[in-house]
């Protein structure tokens, strides 16, 4: 059985985009040219599955992470972020099942080329094939005469390989540890310590934003499938007796969720169901509440188009054996269709029980609210940071034919720069000085800003549009007399004249 990878590398061919507006190659070229994302070690030919973020991509990534922190850590006063080592002892992964089960199915061609078997089937046949045995996948490959996509030769075998990176620690007599393939195990092995520190209260949330490492068989599609990537995860430890409760349930009871349940698979159409509707289908309150909270993050904080977001239910074959309930968080990408960017997993007591058995450290705790001991269950909110950043950039990318340039319609809370300051002419000292005054006002107010005085004002607007700057602020000769600036909206190109003293309140609105 394939180990749950929290954010498995899956894309689904059904899409709201019948004809993509741009190709993967076009998008990748743009991201590199502007300094968002590009291959790592490029001067040495690059390394498959490894990417670097340039100055703009790093800002967008940090903005996403900060929005995630602010939103999810505010859900409960007992939710905190921790930072842990990327390397863990072998026993950690023995307890979690990774040493035995963290595998992916590999299709091997007769000339020795490797491809991810279930993804190969999915690409050729347009369906999901998670959970099949090696033999079942091999039978399908033979039945449909599927060849190796790279070499065109026959597939001769399907087998599972472990995806973890071993690390040798010490000099001389060394011992083996592993780079973590997910951030999830870190909160589990920190649970007992943090429970004692955090005044012994449940529910308790431990969040991590950090790196994970997987030896992917066939990394591709830029940052959608990498060998080193960033995850943002919140592990919520709670008393299983309270799975049917949440103190804020009334806030979301009639909130409509964009769902694709197992029963919807034939059409794959999004069906709007209220949180209350999902209870009637057997999902518990504690789980459904967080499903709603996650959707609100995407639609109300990130402002993703609701038609491009869905909660996709996994069936018993697809979800990990220890996940009682599992929904993927999926967004519709221009050149890739519906793609998983995260998941909500009810992991039960699988993890704490495993670490209790191997470490011999008791994980049972006293729940003050019930005055009884329990082995907490875990609800995992898991997000692939790189995939979410990719989604944000993908949805923002617009090739504006009328303007003759690319416009990145990034939201103001995610864009690398909120405003750009332009002195109309660069060689007139009074105008340049006034522009720098405006720039200082923005920086003192912690508003990310960009200064550009090169080329014509039209070219400067175009450059700002391409990197997603929401507001263009021009200082001209009249500014010296009336203390006003002209502010331009990136999306509408409309311009408005306002007082410099009104600028901060304008931007906050």
Q: What is the pLDDT of residues 187-209, one digit of tens each?
A: 999 999 999 999 899 999 999 99
Listing DSSP states for 373-429 in one string gives EE--EEEEEEEEHHHHHHHHHHHHEEEETTTTEEEE---TTTSS-SEEEEES-SS-H
At 17 the pLDDT is: 52
Listing DSSP states for 69-114 in one string gives HHHHTTS-TTEEE----SEEEHHHHHHHTHHHH-EEEEEEETTS-E
Tell me how far apart the alpha carbons of residues 463 and 406 are, in angstroms, rounded to a whole number.
9
The mean pLDDT value for 143-160 works out to 92
Question: Per-residue pLDDT for 175 more than 70?
Answer: yes
Tell me how far apart the alpha carbons of residues 352 and 237 are, in angstroms, rounded to a whole number.
10
Residue pair 208/180 in contact by the 8 Å Cβ criterion? no
Question: Per-residue pLDDT for 3 more than 50?
Answer: no
Residue 161: pLDDT band with limits 50, 70, 90: confident
At 218 the pLDDT is: 80
CATH 3.40.50.800 boundaries in the chain: 417-508
At 171 the pLDDT is: 85
Tell me how far apart the alpha carbons of residues 39 and 22 are, in angstroms, rounded to a whole number.
20
Report the percentage of the chain scoring pLDDT > 90. Answer: 82
At 15 the pLDDT is: 55
The mean pLDDT value for 458-466 works out to 96
At 103 the pLDDT is: 86
231: nearest Cα among 292, 296, 186, 297: 186
Which letter, b or e, does each residue of 97-123 get, where b requires 16 or more Cβ atoms within 10 Å of its Cβ? Answer: bbbebbbbbbbbbeeebebbbbbbbbe
At 12 the pLDDT is: 56
Residue 121 has φ and ψ, to the nearest 5°, of -65, -40
The pTM of the full predicted model, rounded to 2 decimals, is 0.90
Tell me how far apart the alpha carbons of residues 192 and 364 are, in angstroms, rounded to a whole number.
9
At 8 the pLDDT is: 40
- List all residues 6 or more positions away from 466 whose beta carbon is below 8 Å from its beta carbon: 34, 405, 406, 407, 408
Number of Cβ within a 10 Å radius of residue 79: 18
At 19 the pLDDT is: 59
The mean pLDDT value for 393-400 works out to 94
Tell me how far apart the alpha carbons of residues 222 and 237 are, in angstroms, rounded to a whole number.
34
Tell me how far apart the alpha carbons of residues 351 and 359 are, in angstroms, rounded to a whole number.
12
Instruction: Tell me the β-bridge partners of 372.
Output: 367
* More confident site: 299 or 319: 299
Which residue reads 């993927």 in tokens?
328
What superfamily would CATH give domain 11-23+64-89+181-391?
Answer: Bira Bifunctional Protein; Domain 2 (3.30.930.10)
What superfamily would CATH give domain 417-508?
Answer: Anticodon-binding domain (3.40.50.800)
CA distance to 140, 286, 506, 507, per residue, from 485 (Å): 65, 51, 12, 13
Question: Per-residue pLDDT for 6 more than 50?
Answer: no
84: nearest Cα among 214, 187, 227: 187
The mean pLDDT value for 55-72 works out to 98
344: nearest Cα among 4, 3, 105: 4
CA distance to 272, 419, 454, per residue, from 179 (Å): 40, 40, 46
Residue pair 206/190 in contact by the 8 Å Cβ criterion? yes
At 123 the pLDDT is: 86
Q: Which of 66-70, 85-89, 154-158, 318-322 has the lowest mean pLDDT?
A: 318-322
Report the percentage of the chain scoring pLDDT > 70. Answer: 96
* More confident site: 401 or 277: 277
| Averaged pLDDT of the chain | 93
At 102 the pLDDT is: 84
The mean pLDDT value for 359-363 works out to 95
CATH 3.30.930.10 boundaries in the chain: 11-23+64-89+181-391
Cα dihedral: 426, 432, 435, 436 (round 10): 120
Question: In the 8-state DSSP scheme, what is residue 4?
Answer: P
- List all residues 6 or more positions away from 161 whose beta carbon is below 8 Å from its beta carbon: 103, 104, 106, 217
Tell me how far apart the alpha carbons of residues 193 and 196 are, in angstroms, rounded to a whole number.
5
* More confident site: 9 or 373: 373
* pLDDT tens-digit series, residues 279-290: 999 999 999 999
* pLDDT tens-digit series, residues 19-44: 568 899 999 999 999 999 999 999 99
At 126 the pLDDT is: 84
At 16 the pLDDT is: 54
């Amino acid at each position: 059985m394939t180990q749950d990878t929290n954010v498995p590398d899956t894309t689904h061919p059904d899409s709201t985009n019948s004809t993509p507006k741009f190709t993967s190659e076009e998008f990748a070229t743009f991201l590199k040219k502007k300094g968002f994302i590009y291959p790592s070690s490029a001067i040495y030919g690059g390394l498959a599955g490894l990417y670097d973020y340039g100055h703009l991509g790093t800002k967008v990534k940090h903005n996403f992470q900060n929005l995630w922190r602010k939103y999810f850590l505010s859900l409960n006063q007992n939710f905190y972020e921790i930072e842990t080592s990327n390397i863990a002892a072998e026993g950690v992964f023995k307890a979690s099942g990774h040493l035995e089960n963290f595998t992916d199915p590999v299709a091997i061609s007769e000339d020795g080329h490797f491809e991810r078997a279930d993804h190969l089937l999915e690409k050729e046949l347009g369906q999901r094939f998670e959970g099949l045995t090696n033999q079942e996948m091999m039978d399908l490959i033979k039945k449909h005469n599927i060849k190796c996509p790279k070499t065109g030769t026959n597939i001769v075998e399907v087998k599972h390989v472990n995806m973890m990176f071993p690390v040798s620690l010490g000099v001389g007599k060394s011992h083996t540890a592993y780079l973590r393939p997910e951030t999830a195990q870190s909160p589990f092995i920190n649970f007992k310590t943090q429970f004692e520190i955090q005044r012994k209260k449940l529910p308790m949330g431990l969040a991590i934003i950090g790196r994970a490492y997987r030896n992917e068989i066939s990394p591709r599609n830029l940052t959608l499938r990498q060998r080193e990537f960033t995850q943002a995860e919140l592990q919520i430890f709670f008393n299983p007796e309270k799975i049917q409760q949440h103190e804020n349930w009334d806030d979301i009871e009639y909130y409509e969720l964009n769902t694709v349940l197992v029963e919807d698979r034939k059409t794959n159409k999004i069906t709007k169901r209220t949180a209350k509707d999902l209870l009637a289908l057997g999902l518990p309150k504690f789980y459904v509440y967080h499903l709603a909270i996650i959707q609100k993050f995407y639609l109300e904080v990130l402002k993703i188009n609701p038609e491009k977001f869905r909660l996709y239910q996994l069936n018993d074959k697809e979800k990990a054996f220890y996940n009682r309930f599992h929904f993927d968080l999926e967004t519709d990408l221009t050149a890739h269709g519906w793609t998983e960017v995260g998941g909500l997993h009810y992991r039960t007591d699988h993890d704490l029980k495993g670490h209790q058995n191997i470490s011999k450290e008791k994980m049972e705790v006293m729940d003050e609210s019930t005055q009884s001991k329990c082995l907490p269950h875990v609800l995992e909110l898991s997000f692939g940071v790189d995939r979410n950043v990719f989604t944000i950039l993908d949805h923002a990318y617009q090739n504006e034919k009328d303007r003759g340039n690319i416009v990145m319609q990034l939201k103001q809370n995610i864009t690398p720069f909120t405003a750009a300051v332009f002195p109309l002419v660069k060689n007139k000292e009074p105008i340049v000085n006034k522009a720098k005054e405006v720039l200082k006002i923005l920086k003192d107010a912690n508003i990310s800003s960009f200064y550009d005085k090169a080329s014509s004002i039209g070219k400067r607007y175009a450059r700002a549009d391409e990197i997603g700057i929401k507001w263009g602020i021009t200082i001209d000769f009249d500014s010296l007399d009336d203390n006003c600036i002209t502010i331009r909206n990136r999306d509408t190109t409309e311009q408005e004249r306002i007082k410099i003293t009104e600028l901060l309140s304008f931007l906050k609105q």
